[in-house]
Amino acid sequence: MKRFYIALIVTMLFACSEEPEELKSPQFELGEIQLLISRDSLPADNYTYAEIICVVDKRPTANDLLVFSTDKGLFANNTSTYSVNVSSSDTTRVYVKYNRPEIARITVSVFGYDTKEIYLNFIPAYPTKMFISPDSATLLPLFKSKTIVTSKLIRLNGVVSEGHFPVYYDSIDVDSGGSIGRFFNSTYSDSQGNSTVEYWLQDTSYHGFVYIKGYVNTDTGRIEGISRILIQ
């Protein structure tokens, strides 16, 4: 009996000397995040919003935030990041616009537990009107006579995408007259829809109006502009 009590005491001492296991916090398992685009290939006019739909299958808490970010364009809050509480229906919608025909990457995360990304394609936003304005209303009939011609591309809603390249030609008659000049150093349209070209007179024998014409090809047809210069 004495040996039994000694063995029992030794067993209890060794059991008390063992290190307790590390306490572990409860592990949260987030349901799947689905990221969808309701409509792709929208015009890059800085006006038309693409709708991004985020569906969270499981909500960890009532006040969880979805954090959206984009590498191009802006959300409806005019920044490249947008935070919003998970919708009670588990479906959240955010909106993105952009002014360049490029591919934007949209990402979303919930407190870093899960992250999803999707790619949104913006296509060129074409003009609906074109205005042509020479910086001089008259030119002398000399070979060195020239003027800078500015084109302005505008769109009914939003802005025209950058990078359009207008085509220019001249005519001494509105419809079918001949050319008396040449165009040099044409530029692509900028973020404001402006581009320029130099017009040089080549025929010194002509006197009267010369019409400066230009156009841009769009997805719905040709957009044209016209102006005129008096050759004295």
Does position 58 have pLDDT exceeding 90, yes or no? no
In 3D space, the residue among 90, 83, 74, 88 whose CA is nearest the CA of residue 34 turns out to be 90
pTM score, whole prediction: 0.72
> pLDDT of 174-196, one tens digit each?
666 789 999 999 999 998 999 99
Give the mean model confidence (pLDDT) for residues 115-140: 96
Count CB-CB contacts under 10 A for residue 12: 10
Length of the chain in residues, anyone? Answer: 232
In 3D space, the residue among 126, 202, 138 whose CA is nearest the CA of residue 165 turns out to be 126
Q: For residue 224, what pLDDT is reported?
A: 97
Contact 56, 31 (CB under 8 A): yes
Which secondary structure element, helix H or strand E, spans residue 214, and what is its range? strand 208-218
Summary mean pLDDT of the chain: 85
In 3D space, the residue among 23, 114, 111, 25 whose CA is nearest the CA of residue 61 turns out to be 111
Q: For residue 23, what pLDDT is reported?
A: 37
In 3D space, the residue among 26, 32, 31, 74 whose CA is nearest the CA of residue 52 turns out to be 74
pLDDT band at 26 (very low <50, low <70, confident <90, very high): very low
More confident residue, 32 or 126: 126
Does position 152 have pLDDT exceeding 90, yes or no? yes
**Sheet-wide strand order for 33-37:** 33-37, 50-56, 91-97, 74-75
